[in-house]
A and B are shown apart, each in its own frame.
Chain A
Amino acid sequence: MKKVWWKVLAVLLILYTIITGLLLGVPRLAILNETIRNLHFHVPMWFGMIIMLTGSVVYSIKYLRTGKLDFDTKSVELAKTGILFCILGLLTGMLWAKFTWSEWWSGDPKQNAAAICLLIYLAYLVLRNSLQDEQQRARISSVYSIFAYAAMIPLLFILPRMAESSLHPGNGGNPALNFFDSDDQLKMVLYPAVIGWTLMGVWLAELRVRYRRIEKALEEN
């Protein structure tokens, strides 16, 4: 937690993706036009969210195994940052959808699933705040977060792919837009973007964890 290098790496990677993501050549495709560049900014939000929520559930399990409240603190702060990324992903996706699918919200399977996901995780925060006792709160919310994570995986990765039709690339009857997976030049920006934004999210979560620890130490004195 005391090392600086990964924070520097996060900033450098994001700077790289802002510059190359906006300036490098991209496939010239109808309807998408220049908005294809959103790939480098919208998609990393979701990758970042998944990675941080995975971290969150890992710390939940660690807490349940050891009973150490510090793991619970890490778990909840990673989840909160994940929720922030989820909201940003939804908003950027809506803006992108408005100009390529013509509606802010077209009830697309992926959109609906992502919204349900957000609600499940917001319920996690409500649940936490409704419990007074520290250990009880940590234990119940840790168990809930495992269920939330288990519900999120099929919601985001399985159900949208089973849908009859979806506008979102990589789902339902829309395999034609899978150029995202095959274009090397897009990958050259997308992958560093995913790493950069994830590290940025972990940095924000780390700041909140440290704040919580100080708060707790002051309460105990």
Chain B
Amino acid sequence: MKKIIFALLFIVSVPSFSQVNLDKIKAGEKYEITENDYTNKSVDMADMMRENGKIYVVVGVIVIIFLGITFYAIRIDRKLSKIEGEVFGEKVNS
């Protein structure tokens, strides 16, 4: 079982090795981080959230706030259903 997991991890990690310019690195040598590593466009990163004037971040914030308020409303709804069951003695399913 362990062997299978290691094999899977290795397969998954192969593409990330290939991103580094391997032919420039010799065994035992340190890879130096340069300015190019921060600015290059050749490596795919999670850039989407920073594009277009970062509007996606604002969308994310509003969605989180709205979902939070919705969650709160659902909780109130559930609590009311419960107390309705106690007061009116009927089965409520909302």
Contact = CB atoms under 8 A, between A and B. Distances in A.
A156 interface: no
B26 to A, nearest CB: 47
Q: Is the interface of B mostly helix, strand, loop or mixed?
A: helix
B: interface residue count bin: 20 to 34
B92 interface: yes
Interface stretch (A12-20, A128-136, A144-152): A12-20
Contact of B80 (A3, A22, A207): A207
Chain A residues touching B, range: 20 to 34
Contacts of B7: none
A15 B87 contact: no
Contact of A214 (B59, B62, B87): B87
A14 B80 CA distance: 24
A2 B87 contact: no
Contacts of B92: 2
Interface of B: 55-56, 58-59, 62-63, 66-67, 70, 73-74, 76-77, 80, 83-84, 87-88, 92-94
